[in-house]
Structure 1
Amino acid sequence: MTSFGDLLGPPPTLLTGDDDAESDLLNGVDPAAVAAQYPSASIAWAYLAEAALNGADDDVAAQTAAYAYARTGYHRGLDQLRRHGWKGYGPVPWSHQQNQGFLRCVGALARAAQLIGEEDEYARCLDLLNDSDPTAIDELGLS
């Protein structure tokens, strides 16, 4: 593991984001329509996962939907990170707004995994968030 801010570690990965998807979401377009139009935009999947998690404590269908949305956004984000030179480790700063779609998907995946009892996945997601940027866990309310 590298520590965040390690001068000898890899440089932070800064995603470019998807301006059109982000604009649509900020302008109130249905996240499902945005995800369908821009399937590589992790931020759209994060919106869907977070909405499904809202009040999903006792709703197994919502929990599973949230898990699926979050996992889709997580994998789309991994693809983007790799295209930007990420090798599977190193900082992915929360402070860089375009990284937040991916990090929000990881956070939603952690929450959904915990709800469905997948504790190993929950722990892996927390580890990934901590390795990416330790502040992300607090920003996502997972501390």
Structure 2
Amino acid sequence: MRQALAEGDRASVAAVVAGHPSSPLAWTELADLADSEGRAIESFAFASVAADLAREQLVAGGWQSGDPVSWSDEPNRAYLRALDTQRRAAEALGLDDRAGRLADELAIADPEAPARIASEFTPTQLITIVSAHDSGTDETFDHATSVATHTGDPVAEPAAPDAAGED
């Protein structure tokens, strides 16, 4: 199942879930995909299923609610990621109390998990790359390359107005 997810593309994630419906990891991947596409309702639903399935597996292994769930143990990552994806979706849907409870649950499970998830599992990792050939026109890419990006931090902007040009 992990191999199918690793080798597949965005379109194949749902097929992996259909083939492995009891896999928290597959549901978490589907939730993250929905999140990356701005589909908060689907993301929330898929992440809820993932978290429930992962909890069932944890309980079967002797875990009790409130016990730590270490990020360093790879099978736990689906649960921790599902909680975080569900939290983000809850925030997007305006379910602030739910989002707060999920953030607390994640912090209790593993205080380092939110930072690890943010650095290792960002929605941009799921972006499909489209070439100029696939888009049928070079206009999109010509415009995209001419748009300047500003961080708002004058230190990070080498061409900031009034910059002395010094290091």
Tell me the CA shift for residue 55 of structure 1. Answer: 4.1
Of 108, 117, 127, the match for 1:140: 117
Counterpart of 1:33 (choices 6, 10, 15) is: 15
Any runs of at least 4 consecutive aligned residues in structure 1 with deviations exceeding 4 A, and if so which?
none
The higher-RCO structure (CA 8 Å, 6+ apart) is 1
Distance in 2 (CA, whole Å) between partners of 1:55 and 1:79 is: 28
**How many Å separate the matches in 1 of 2:25 and 2:48?**
12
Which amino acid in 2 is paired with 1:97? E
2:24 corresponds to 1:42: yes
Q: How many Å apart are 1:24 and its aligned residue? A: 1.3
User: Once the 2 structures are TM-superposed, how far is the Cα of residue 87 of structure 1 from its aligned partner?
Assistant: 1.3
What letter matches 1:44 in structure 2? A
Q: What does residue 70 of structure 2 align with?
A: 93
1:32-81 CA distance string (max 9 Å, x none): 1111111111111111111111141xxxxx11011111001011111111
Say whether 1:105 aligns with 2:105: no
Q: For 1:45 and 1:39, locate their aligned partners in 2 and report how far apart those are by CA, in whole Å.
A: 8
2:140 match: none
For 2:100, which of 106, 118, 123 is the aligned residue? 123
Report % sequence identity.
Answer: 32
Q: How many residues align?
A: 117
Task: Tell me, yes or no, if structure 1 residue 67 matches structure 2 residue 47.
Answer: no
Equivalent residue number for residue 54 of structure 2: 77
Stretches of structure 2 lacking an aligned partner (at least 5 in a row): 120-167
SS in 2 for 1:23: helix
Q: How large is the Cα RMSD of the aligned pairs?
A: 1.4
Following the alignment from structure 1 to structure 2, what is the Cα–Cα distance between the partners of residues 65 and 54?
Answer: 11
Residue 98 of structure 1 and its aligned partner are, at CA, apart by: 1.1
- CA distance in 2 between counterparts of 1:96 and 1:28 reads 24
Equivalent position to 2:3, from 5, 11, 23: 23
Looking at structure 2, the residues matched to 36 and 64 of structure 1 have their Cα atoms a distance apart, in angstroms, of 19
Q: 1:84 to 1:136 in 2, by over 3 A?
A: same
When the two structures are superposed, what TM-score results if normalisation uses the length of structure 2? Answer: 0.67
